[in-house]
Amino acid sequence: MGANNKSPAKGKKIENDPLQNMVLHLRKKGPEVRDAVFENHRVDFFRGKDFVAHLKNNKECRELMAKLPQDKIKGTKIEDQIESLAHFLLRSGVFFRAERAQKTPKPGKKLLKFPKRLELYPDNTFDENGFYIWRFQLPTSMWMYAGSAGVVVLTISCCLFPLAPHWLKLGVLYLCLCLLGVIFAICIVRALIFVAFWVLFGKHLWLLPHLFSEEAGVLEAFTPWYEFDEDAAARAGEEPVKPPSFWSRMLAAMAIVATLYGLYTYSPETDEMAAKAQQAHKSILELLDLYQVPKQLSGDNTTEVANLSNTSSVNMTGADAAGVGEAAYVEAPSQTVDAEDGAAVGEADAATKEEL
């Protein structure tokens, strides 16, 4: 096999300025790029169908194609020109063809549009249904260095978190709880919008459709803002699902409303819910040891007080000892007085008996 079919390496320098501009455009603004594992390396790849769609629909890309040497771009139709350009880029080593490492899906699942693992394809030719790995690497930007430094700072901060002040720990805890609440709120709003559009119009409208997608990245999860399943199926070349009848949707809506009303009827009282929430809040603080006075410091203070008490009892001054002795001496006469009183009472009883 030729050199173009080996494992990915840095792409060769492109001397032709129009071609270099074309490759830079495709790498920065071209077809959708995902990452996968190829021969124990993390690589960027794209789909052939996305490559063709971008060259057809992007005006800037077509203008760059017009500036390329005519001996590199053959054909009069746009489809032929795109295929000719793709074959030329393959021969130049800008990218090479790969295929799925896992050909069949797991039981009960579909094949991913963007596989997680790739392997080399024997025939390095262009096909719309193929996958292509970029050899041409973009220069490292300042944002990459800033992100790497941020990861280091974040890692060190996580290691030093147990030593953070009490207010900072509480702030991180409440921030995480707020983010969790935002996620739950988004899920509820998505469900309400989906149900409303499905009942009224029979369409599947999703707010942030890629939010929970395994294939989407961090930024891609928040784009687009909304999408109909019918439009997504049309772009993928699939037939959209036919919605049920209006009365079937109304019956489903009535069942949902009845279920929600039943949950509301048997829900606990507001005061009880507030008490449970307060109890849960205290349990979380106790679990994470985030009370105002940490337990360890409280135990140290108790030990310190006990030590001070023992020291004061041992190092008692002579005046204090004399005071204690005087106090013991004062208590003795009270016992003597009690004995004399008892004798006097006994003599009085004897005199009374003689008179009788």
Which pLDDT belongs to residue 238?
A: 66
| Of residues 241 and 203, more confidently modeled | 203
Alpha-carbon distance values, 134 to 3, 8, 14, 137, 197 (Å) = 15, 8, 14, 7, 41
pLDDT for 276-290, tens place per residue? 888 988 888 888 888
How far, rounded to the nearest angstrom, does the alpha carbon of residue 253 sit from its chain's CA centroid? 33
pLDDT band at 350 (very low <50, low <70, confident <90, very high): low
Q: What's the whole-number mean pLDDT along residues 21-46? A: 90
- CA gap 121, 5 in Å, rounded: 8
Cβ-contact 224, 244 below 8 angstroms = no
Asked if residue 133 has pLDDT above 90, the reply is yes
Q: State whether the Cα torsion 142-34-211-225 is positive or negative.
A: positive
Q: What is the dihedral of CA 133, 113, 108, 40, to 10 degrees?
A: 20
HEC string for the chain: CCHHHCCCCCCCCCCCHHHHHHHHHHHHHCCCCEEEEECCEEEEEEEHHHHHHHHHHCHHHHHHHHCCCCCCCCCCCHHHHHHHHHHHHHHHCCEEEEEECCCCCCCCCCCCCCCCEEEECCCCCCCCCCEEEECCCCCCCHHHHHHHHHHHHHHHHHHCHHHCCHHHHHHHHHHHHHHHHHHHHHHHHHHHHHHHHHHHHCCCEEECCCCCCCCCCCCHHHCCCEEEHHHHHHHCCCCCCCCCCHHHHHHHHHHHHHHHHHHHHCCCCHHHHHHHHHHHHHHHHHHCCCCCCCHHHHHHHHHHHHHHHHHHHHCCCHHHHHHHHHHHHHHHHHHHHHHHHHHHHHHHHHHHHHHC
Report helix angle 166-201 to 246-265, nearest 10: 140
Which pLDDT belongs to residue 6?
A: 45
| Of residues 176 and 210, more confidently modeled | 176
Which pLDDT belongs to residue 346?
A: 56
- CA gap 119, 234 in Å, rounded: 29
Cβ-contact 93, 8 below 8 angstroms = no
Phi and psi based region of residue 208 (left: phi greater than 0; alpha: psi -120 to 50; beta: remaining) = left
pTM over 0.95: no
On the CB side of 138, how many CA atoms lie within 13 Å of its CA?
17
Asked if residue 178 has pLDDT above 70, the reply is yes
- CA gap 324, 131 in Å, rounded: 96
pLDDT band at 352 (very low <50, low <70, confident <90, very high): low
Cβ-contact 166, 290 below 8 angstroms = yes
Which pLDDT belongs to residue 21?
A: 86
Pair of tokens at residue 110: 């579909």
* Nearest one of 223, 210, 225, 190 to 114, comparing CA atoms: 210
Average pLDDT over the chain, rounded to whole?
Answer: 77
* Nearest one of 38, 68, 215, 208 to 134, comparing CA atoms: 38
Which pLDDT belongs to residue 351?
A: 57
Cβ-contact 86, 72 below 8 angstroms = no
Q: Is the peptide bond before 224 cis (omega within 30 degrees of 0)?
A: yes
pLDDT band at 259 (very low <50, low <70, confident <90, very high): very high
Which pLDDT belongs to residue 266?
A: 86
Which pLDDT belongs to residue 68?
A: 81
